[in-house]
Amino acid sequence: MDVVLVHPEIPHNAGCAARLTAALGLRLHLVEPLGFSLADRYLKRAGLDYWPAVELVVHRDWPAAARALGRESPRPFTERLRLFSARGGRSLFETVFESDDVLVFGSESRGLPAELLAAHPARRVYIPIRPCLRSLNLANTVALAAYTALVRAGVPLPDNDGAFAPDARADQDVWPVEVASRIEHG
């Protein structure tokens, strides 16, 4: 399962998503343009010292991300998409997930691009909230969605009884820009 943030704007939210994906062993994809630099101190701070454990991939744009992710499973890419939107679709808690799904989230102020949502209306997923609220925080949405999707797909969660054993790489002073791989820039 992969987590994709399309045009994230707030470094803290992307850093929280990075920390979450490291904790779950998922890859985090960021689709440019970003509203911050990968050298942003707030991004680094939100991810704490977990950056060495983050598998971070940065894509030039959505078509590049789709091409790269589309090559990674025998299942058609469009069937793997789960487009999270505050504007309709199927409830997170009624959605059937598969272990190779791609969880896609939009920017904090605009959500996912309208053309992406229009191209895949049956792939939309929402988290139920009261109608007087516009949306949930991106980092909270990613956390709730990732854990729910993994459980519903039957993917085992990390086996941890609450004990903490630091990763050997945690003492390295690593910045997000140092762990990011860039693909599909052509």
Contacts of 150 (CB under 8 A, 6+ apart): 1, 24, 97, 157
Domains of the chain and CATH, by start: 9-156+171-183 (3.40.1280.10)
Quick one: pLDDT at residue 185?
Answer: 43
Percent share of the chain, pLDDT over 70: 89
Query: Does residue 64 have a pLDDT over 90?
Result: yes
What pLDDT sits at residue 14?
93
Average pLDDT on 137-151 reads: 97
Q: Is the pLDDT of residue 38 over 90?
A: no
Q: What is the mean pLDDT of the chain?
A: 89
Could you read off the pLDDT of 161-181 as tens digits, one per residue? 887 777 776 666 666 666 667
Percentage of the chain lying above the pLDDT 90 cut:
67
DSSP letter string over the chain?
-EEEEES---HHHHHHHHHHHHHHT-EEEEESSPSS-TT-HHHHHHTTT-GGG-EEEEESSHHHHHHHHHTS-SS-HHHHEEEE-SSSSEEGGG----TT-EEEE-BTTTBS-HHHHHH-GGGEEE----TT-----HHHHHHHHHHHHHHHHTPPPP---S-----GGGGS---HHHH-EEE---
